[in-house]
């Protein structure tokens, strides 16, 4: 099978390329390296290029060359999306449309899309299943939701079959410690907490202690990057076997507070981790927990690394492997 992985040099994409490569797929990565890293692409061919480049897309996505496309390339910072919505709509929506158009012209009709819990907005109930209304509250969430709707229309009009995977909080690292999170700047809780543990940062800011949660800090559902990749592989297989377009929520169904994450990191690393209380961050819902029953039932998804200790331990092994 020939798979094009767009954004294959990024955090989740690079893990996907490794899994596909290992399983014998022929994989091609397209990445502009704006956030990704060339040395994170461990298998297959690499093409450096941008989705805005229509000619490149036409040249790359030739009829018959790819059986499917997986799309990981997007901007992901909620706060930045509020400040710079144009950047988000241009990259996450317009560029995705260019990709879909190139696929359509080449007759590639299987697509696995990285969507997000941010398409739901403020949760009306918890855990969040696929029937939960989608009312995103920031441009990032809206950009992903727009693509989900475009995909509905492309299925209806052109027969393009897609699976949208709505990640909750992607975390962890490659259990073999070859890959992990390397965002610059890093904004995610677990890698930041581990940078404090390794002495790179003096403290972790806790954004809000007055949420409506048991300890007052925000609750999230952390899901291991390797398990997310398993879900992508199963989604791809479902499309190859003729499944209809679908959307799935991906999380473990366990909510952990920011405070619990910090305590877990103290336990796993054995290091002191200083905290500083800080104001709430704009746009943070108090609780985001997934109901992933559908992915388990329909795709047969069985996450392997469900405990927060394991997720943090893998991220810690990765952090320690980086230059200190």
Q: Per the residue annotation, which of 43, 140, 211, 248 is the catalytic one?
A: 140
Residue 192 is a binding residue for ligand UFG (CB under 6 A): yes
Shortest distance in whole angstroms from residue 236 CB to ligand UFG: 22
Which residues neighbour 215 within 8 Å (Cβ) at sequence distance 6 or greater? 209, 257, 259, 260
Q: Beta-carbon neighbour count of residue 185 at 10 Å?
A: 6
Residue 188 is a binding residue for ligand UFG (CB under 6 A): yes
Rounded-to-integer distance, Cα 135 and Cα 268, Å: 37
CB 196 within 8 A of CB 248: no
Residue 116 is a binding residue for ligand UFG (CB under 6 A): yes
Residue 225 is a binding residue for ligand UFG (CB under 6 A): no
**Is 140 annotated in the active site?**
yes
CB 144 within 8 A of CB 266: no
Q: Which is nearer to ligand UFG, 161 or 166 (CB)?
A: 166
Q: Which is nearer to ligand UFG, 109 or 116 (CB)?
A: 116
Residue 258 is a binding residue for ligand UFG (CB under 6 A): yes
Q: Which stretch binds ligand UFG (CB under 6 A): 29-37, 61-69, 205-213, 316-324?
A: 205-213
Residue 162 is a binding residue for ligand UFG (CB under 6 A): no
Residue 201 is a binding residue for ligand UFG (CB under 6 A): no
Residue 206 is a binding residue for ligand UFG (CB under 6 A): yes
Q: Which stretch binds ligand UFG (CB under 6 A): 35-43, 91-99, 123-131, 280-288?
A: 280-288
Of 220, 233, 287, 314, the one binding ligand UFG by CB under 6 A: 220
Shortest distance in whole angstroms from residue 222 CB to ligand UFG: 9
Q: Which is nearer to ligand UFG, 21 or 136 (CB)?
A: 136
Work out the angle between the directed axes of helices 258-269 and 308-321 (0-180°, nearest 10): 60
Rounded-to-integer distance, Cα 205 and Cα 66, Å: 45
Residue 132 is a binding residue for ligand UFG (CB under 6 A): no
CB 31 within 8 A of CB 7: yes
CA separation, residue 169 to residues 117, 178, 246, 256, 281 (Å): 8, 21, 20, 11, 16
Rounded-to-integer distance, Cα 315 and Cα 237, Å: 28
Pairing of strands 45-48, 161-167: unpaired
Return residues touching ligand UFG (CB under 6 A): 76, 78, 116-118, 140, 169, 187-189, 192, 204-207, 218, 220, 258, 281, 284, 288
């Amino acid at each position: 099978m020939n798979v094009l992985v767009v954004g294959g040099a990024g955090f989740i994409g690079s893990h996907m390329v490794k899994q596909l490569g290992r399983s014998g797929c022929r994989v091609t990565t397209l990445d502009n390296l704006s956030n990704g890293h060339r040395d994170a692409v461990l298998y297959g061919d690499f093409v450096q290029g941008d989705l805005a480049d229509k000619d490149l897309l036409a040249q790359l996505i030739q009829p018959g060359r790819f059986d499917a496309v997986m799309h990981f390339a997007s901007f992901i910072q909620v706060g930045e999306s509020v400040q710079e919505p144009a950047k988000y709509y241009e990259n996450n929506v317009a560029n995705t449309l260019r990709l879909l158009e190139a696929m359509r012209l080449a007759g590639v009709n299987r697509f696995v899309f990285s969507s997000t819990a941010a398409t739901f907005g403020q949760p009306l109930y918890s855990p969040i299943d696929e029937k939960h209304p989608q009312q995103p509250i920031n441009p990032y969430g809206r950009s992903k939701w727009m693509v989900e709707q475009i995909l509905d229309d492309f299925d209806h009009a052109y027969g393009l079959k897609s699976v949208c995977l709505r990640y909750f909080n992607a975390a962890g690292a490659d259990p073999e410690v070859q890959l992990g999170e390397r965002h610059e700047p890093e904004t995610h809780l677990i890698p930041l907490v581990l940078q404090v543990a390794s002495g790179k940062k003096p403290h972790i800011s806790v954004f809000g202690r007055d949420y409506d949660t048991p300890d007052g800090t925000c609750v999230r559902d952390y899901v291991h990057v390797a398990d997310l990749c398993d879900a992508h592989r199963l989604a791809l297989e479902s499309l190859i076997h003729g499944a209809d377009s679908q959307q799935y929520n991906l999380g473990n169904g366990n909510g952990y507070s920011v405070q619990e994450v910090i305590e877990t990191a103290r336990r796993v690393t054995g290091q002191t981790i200083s905290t500083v209380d800080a104001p709430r961050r704009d746009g943070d819902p108090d609780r985001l927990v997934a109901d992933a029953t559908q992915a388990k039932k329909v795709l047969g998804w069985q996450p392997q690394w469900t405990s927060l200790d394991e997720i943090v331990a893998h991220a810690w092994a990765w952090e320690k492997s980086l230059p200190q």
